[in-house]
Every structure is written in structure tokens, then in C-alpha cells.
Structure 1
Amino acid sequence: MPNVKPQHKDTYLCFTTQLNNSLYITGFEPHAKMQTAHHMLLYGCKTPGRQDKVWNCGEMAATANSAYSSGPTCASGAKIIFGWAMDAPSLVLPKDVAFKVGGDSDIDYLVLQIHYKDVSKFLPPSTETDNSGLTLTTTATPLPKTAGIYLLGSSGTLPKKSVEYMETACAFDEDVTIHPISFRTHTHTLGRVVSGFRIRDGKWTEIGRKSPQQPQTFYNVTTPNISVKKGDILAARCTYENTKDHPVNVGPTADDEMCNFYIMYYVDGDKTAERKYCFNSGPPYYSWDEFNGGDMNLEAIPETASTDPTGGKKWIRTGDNTDEQWGERSMDERDTEDLLSYIRYLASLTPNRESQDLYDNY
């Protein structure tokens, strides 16, 4: 960020760089601290949300900071390339693997989005500014394997005083085979475990599993040499412990929650998967029981799906759909206030056909 001064907690700022020639990104070095930045996301865009060098982006954009214009992260062609949070370290891609940007790719701009957590050091009378960002390692030499990101996530509400799951699943209906190489988890403070799986012919194979309270970088997949092909199912679960005395919704601020499981993969050649996202509405509306895209064989869900691989603690769902746990709002009110709010937020960050279809369906 070029000496920005965010003035409100949960401000989202975006910074863009235009690409001309083809480049191949092979590494990411973050320059940020978790005390200030809740997260950084690097997007590839066909068209940025604005032509300004810096602008407000995300759901808070309209009111967060009048010093900057407002707009989405990307106006078209949004693709997530990299994510950072919780003081995660640098990342170097495997040999012969790179993200292709610029040139004849469908990425003409890079956009860095930063969600600011604490802006107190930027408030008057302080003159301090922020230069958080990323250093990219690139080459102009084409590499034989092209990297991509597939993001699974969920909306929903966590009942008060409960352990709850947010689950999502999508059939993989692509004509390319992807090879997951690393994964990244993301929740806010209530997340305990995030896990992702490939289901093939009813057999569950773990792609990755991690506590989201650890540095939120990309970790090596837990099943080496795993692949995903047409006919497979991709699924993810976020496990939460809501210790609060009120329900907590998925949303864009640090006081809300999120459920994200990122898969970084490569393909042989330069044709990546067309679909980039798999999102569902979450509790109390959606769980794996509602999946209708094939046979998930739910009896075979791994017992470790909600087990923290670091400490070994297993979290078992205690939430239910009673009004006492969900609070006083009716189901229709929760639908209107929570689900649509998050879908609007998702669409503002990644304006594409899939997020618009999701919004239209509700």
C-alpha cells in the first residue's frame, strides 16, 4: 500500500497494478503485521474495481473512509492468487509451477486487498502511514505447470454457546485434472479446525486440515500426489466453538465469522479450472446432508474431520435449530439479514457469474 491512512476499523483498501507483458509468479513475501492487518488477499482481475491507485473495497466501502473512492475489488474476471493472515511466512511454489499473469492470460491487473484490523496508529494527530504489501518473485520464462486457486466456503450463523459446523461441497465438473499442492484455512476467532476433502467413488481423502488460529499461510497438502478429476466431489468443513451468549453470523468484519478453505493446485499446461469457488448457505440451512450433486457417502466421513491436528482435540457438534440457541429472530429474518448480507459481500469481492447466480437464487 502506498502510504495509506485507514481511519476506521474493518476498512478494506485495494491497490492495483496494471500488467503488460506475461509474467510467471513463483513466490510471495508478505510485509504486514497481524496487529494491523486482519488479512491480505492478492487478486488477478480482468478489470479492477476502480481505476484509482487505491480505493475502498468490500462491504464497508460506502461509509468506511471518505478519503478514498468506493468500488469492488475487481469489476470483472476476479481470481484469488494468494492469501495471508496471522503473521504467515513467505511462500515459494514448487519447481516448474507458477501463476501466469499479464500478456495473453485473462489477468490484466493485480489487486492487493487489505482488511485493516486496528487503525489506531493512523488516527490524528499521528502522521504514520501504512505500506503493508507483498513482494512477488517472478520470471518472464514460461513454466510447464500453471497454478490456480479453488476456494470452498460457507455462509451461515453459529448458535450461541455451542460447537457448530459450517459445511460446503461441490461436484468437480471440469475437463482438466488439478493437482492440489497446498491449502490454506481462514476463519476468525471462533474457528477451531478447518478441513478439506476429495471424495471419489465414495472414498474420502483428506486434502488438508489445520487450526485457523495458526499462521494462515499455504501448507503442503496432507495427502501427497493427490489429484482431482471430473466426477470427484470437493468438500470442506469449518468447526467453531461459539463461547458467546449470542449467535454469530458470517460476515466481513472481525466481529463476524468466516469459513474458507483454499486449495492451491497446478495443472499441466496453461488451462486451469474454469470454476474458482464453491460456496453454500451454511447453518441452519445447509450441511453435507443437503448435498445433491452425487454420492458423498456420509457414513465414510473421516473421524478426524473436526480434530485439531496440532493438539489432537476433537470437536463434536452441539448446536441445534432451536429458537433458544439461535436467538429471537425468525428463520425468515435470519435469511434476510445474514445470508443475503454475506452473499452481497462475496459478490462485491469476487464479481463473477457464480457469485451473481448465488445471489439471484436467494
Structure 2
Amino acid sequence: MLKIILFIFQLGLVFSKQVDLDLLMPNVSPKVKDSYLCKKFKMDDLNPIYINEFEANSTKEIAHHILLFGCDEVGEEDVWNCGEMNSGGVHDDYKQGPVCKGRKQSIIFAWALDAPKLTLPKGVAFKLGGDSDNKYLVMQVHYAKVDNFIKGGSDNSGLKLKGQTEPVEYTAGVYLLSTGGYINPGKVEYFEAACEMNEDKVLHPFAYRTHTHKLGLVNSGYVVKHDGEDWTEIGRRSPQLPQMFDLVSNKVSVRKGDVLVGRCTMKNFVDRAVHVGPTGDDEMCRFYIMYYVKGDKILTNNNCVTLGPPYWYLNNFKDSRGNKLNLDEMPSDASEIPDEQKELIKNGSGQHHDHEIKENTILKVDTKS
């Protein structure tokens, strides 16, 4: 339900419009383990809104994760089974379909493991509706456990968004590095992705998020400049902590010709090979980069995907000029959990406070880098 709240100021009849957007599942009841259900929400084609705050209405006991996508076109169903790699079950009451039906699909937000509320810097927001490609929002909820639903329960998990109707100076987007692949039992493995930035835009990363399942030790992300020689860390975090968007490690811009790199370091402690897949017993390697650009046009391609181990590693990468990455310059701590995070994991805790990314720590970015 979209509520526009008008605050009328006495001086000069100035109108300020706040947007509250509640994206909730309509009391769904999936009966198949590891169900992925999607719910669509139509945006206004004429009047865009600008969202700068995200909060989950769920817990990790109910939802394994929640993803929010922007789509230019969707199917006819209001709620449907949108698992990427599963075909549904014989007792599933929901029709199967992709997240988006059209050619444009982008990730806007992701949540898991009781991550806290996220507030973007002042002046930065996601543009939804209007002339953007985000004609619809599609919320995907992964229900790993369904015992309560089989007993007759239902769920209205979702996201609560806040923002405004006034345009902002900077538009946010999310770039995703991910892989396929598998890891053999008893092994440590690197799941790696790298893609060259081939669009003539300047990106300013300001937050990042890591995601794996049970085997992930640490995920790290980098921007690499100067023909593969100059590595700058964007972020490094254990995915066993609350999977929140956290402040980037370094302020750096990303320009055409630069390379974005992601690595997930995993250790397989089970007695079977574990493949990348959709269920909680599979694995995933994802490194999200939340960025902003000046104006209202973000990247047209926000995804970088590789085959992963044992088929693809960083030494397989070549840019458009034929340059490989100089892996000798890759930071030696790329697969190390930061010390302060080790203590959080040891104590079984994490950063569960609401997470506001301050304007003065983000928007003063070195535009010459």
C-alpha cells in the first residue's frame, strides 16, 4: 500500500511529500521446502518516487532471504514460484515463472540473517517508476523451511520502504558479482568473478553486501585499475554475520576500463561436493556493490557472472585490451576474515543496530581516482 503523506508548511505553501511503501506477501503458505515466491507491485508510469530507506518485515527463522528486483515487465500472476533453478513441487499451489518477464531486471535490495534497517546518504535514492526501467517491483522471498505452513500457517514477510517524490541529485544502483561452480569435500576453494566496466559512466560505490550459505568464510570485492595492477578493496566481510549492506572500505570511483572483482572463500566441512544452487543445502557466492551516479541514469548491465570453480578463476580473466589481472598485486588478506569480525562471530553476535550511511562519509569521493 502506497501512502503519500503531505506536510504543508505555512510559509509560501511549500509542499513536501514523503513516500511510505509496504511490500508484503499476502499471507502466503508455500508447502515445498526451499520455495521461492515472488510478489509484484506496479509503480506509477508518470510519477516516479525516490526510495532511500529499506527495512525488513521478517526474521531469519521465517525467510532465508528477501530480494527486491526492478522489472520493466512481469507476468500475469500476482504471486508465483520464481525459483531460479527449481521447478516447483507436486504440492506447490503457485505457478512457475521468472522474476521478470521483460529484458530489464535489476537488483535493488537484498536482506538475510536479520540484517538491520538501511538508510542511504542524503541526496542518494533509487528511482522507481516514471521513465526508469523499474516499472514494477518484484519481491522474492526464499522460504527454506515450510513446516509451519504445512500445519496451516501463513506469512506476510516483506519490506518497508521510505522515500520522497522530489528528485535527488544522485541515483543508486546495485552491481552484483556472482559465480557458479562447486567445492569438493574437505577443501578450501575460491569462487571468483571479474568483469570490465564497459559503460561510459562514473560509479561511486558506497556500500557492499556479502552472501553465501553455510560454507562461506569471507567474501571480498575490489576495483582494479591501470591494466590490472592497482587493486583497491571495496569491502571484505564474513557472510556468517548479519548480511547487511555495510560501508565500503575505501572511497574510490569506477570508470570505463576498470575491472570489478569478487571472491568468496569457502571451506567444505561436509562429506559431499556442494554445488552452487537455490537450496539451503547448496551454496551461493554473491558480492553486491551499492553505488550512485550523478543524475538519474544508472548502468544498463548490473551483473557479472562466471562459471566458478573448477571451471573459472581470476587467472582466466582478460580485459578488452587483452590484459590479465596481476594477481601478485591482489591484497594478501583477500581470504582473511577481518579481526573485528572474528570476535563478532566468536561471540555469536553482529551489527544488529539500524544502519545509516552518513552523507559526510560517502559523498566526498575522490573523482580523480
Cα offset for 1:311?
A: 5.4
What residue number does 2:301 align with? 275
Specify every segment of 5 or more residues in structure 1 that has no aligned partner in the other structure, as ranges. 314-362
Q: What is the aligned-residue RMSD (CA, Å)?
A: 1.2
Q: Does 1:146 align with 2:175?
A: no
Please list the CA deviations of residues 75-129 of structure 1 after superposition, one character each: whole Å capped at 9, or x if unmatched: 12111000000110010011100000101111110000001011111113x3x21
Counterpart contact for 2:30–2:92, Cα < 8 Å: no
What residue number does 2:140 align with? 113
- Aligned equivalents of 1:312, 1:43: Cα separation in 2: 29
Give 2:93's match in structure 1, choosing from 47, 53, 67. 67
What residue number does 1:307 align with? 336
Which residue type is aligned with residue 220 of structure 1?
L
What residue number does 1:337 align with? none
Which residue type is aligned with residue 92 of structure 1?
T
What residue number does 2:193 align with? 168
SS at match of 2:110: strand
What residue number does 2:34 align with? 10
- Aligned equivalents of 1:66, 1:108: Cα separation in 2: 28
Counterpart contact for 1:211–1:310, Cα < 8 Å: no
Please list the CA deviations of residues 104-160 of structure 1 after superposition, one character each: whole Å capped at 9, or x if unmatched: 111110000001011111113x3x210100000021100010000110011101011
Give 2:116's match in structure 1, choosing from 86, 89, 102. 89
TM-score by length of structure 1 reads 0.83
Cα offset for 1:23?
A: 0.8
Counterpart contact for 2:64–2:142, Cα < 8 Å: yes
Which residue type is aligned with residue 106 of structure 1?
D
In structure 2, relative to structure 1, the CA distance for the partners of 1:209 and 1:16 (3 Å cut) is: same
Which residue type is aligned with residue 299 of structure 1?
D
Q: Does 1:183 align with 2:212?
A: no
Counterpart contact for 1:88–1:217, Cα < 8 Å: yes
Which residue type is aligned with residue 169 of structure 2?
P
Please list the CA deviations of residues 13-51 of structure 1 after superposition, one character each: whole Å capped at 9, or x if unmatched: 000110112111111010111112111000000012x22
Counterpart contact for 1:162–1:242, Cα < 8 Å: yes
Cα offset for 1:295?
A: 3.5
SS at match of 2:310: coil
Q: Which has the higher helix share?
A: 1
Please list the CA deviations of residues 300-357 of structure 1 after superposition, one character each: whole Å capped at 9, or x if unmatched: 11011001014577xxxxxxxxxxxxxxxxxxxxxxxxxxxxxxxxxxxxxxxxxxxx
- Aligned equivalents of 1:278, 1:75: Cα separation in 2: 20
Give 1:19's match in structure 2, choosing from 26, 43, 46. 43
Cα offset for 1:64?
A: 6.3
Q: Does 1:129 align with 2:154?
A: yes
TM-score by length of structure 2 reads 0.82
Cα offset for 1:63?
A: 2.4
Counterpart contact for 1:156–1:250, Cα < 8 Å: yes
Cα offset for 1:66?
A: 3.0
What residue number does 2:284 align with? 258
Please list the CA deviations of residues 238-276 of structure 1 after superposition, one character each: whole Å capped at 9, or x if unmatched: 000101121110011110000000000000011211221
Counterpart contact for 2:31–2:92, Cα < 8 Å: no
What residue number does 2:12 align with? none
Which residue type is aligned with residue 68 of structure 2?
L
- Aligned equivalents of 1:34, 1:216: Cα separation in 2: 11
In structure 2, relative to structure 1, the CA distance for the partners of 1:227 and 1:65 (3 Å cut) is: farther
Counterpart contact for 1:11–1:64, Cα < 8 Å: no
What residue number does 1:316 align with? none
What residue number does 2:236 align with? 209
- Aligned equivalents of 1:69, 1:255: Cα separation in 2: 24
Identity %: 49
Equivalences, count = 309
- Aligned equivalents of 1:206, 1:259: Cα separation in 2: 18
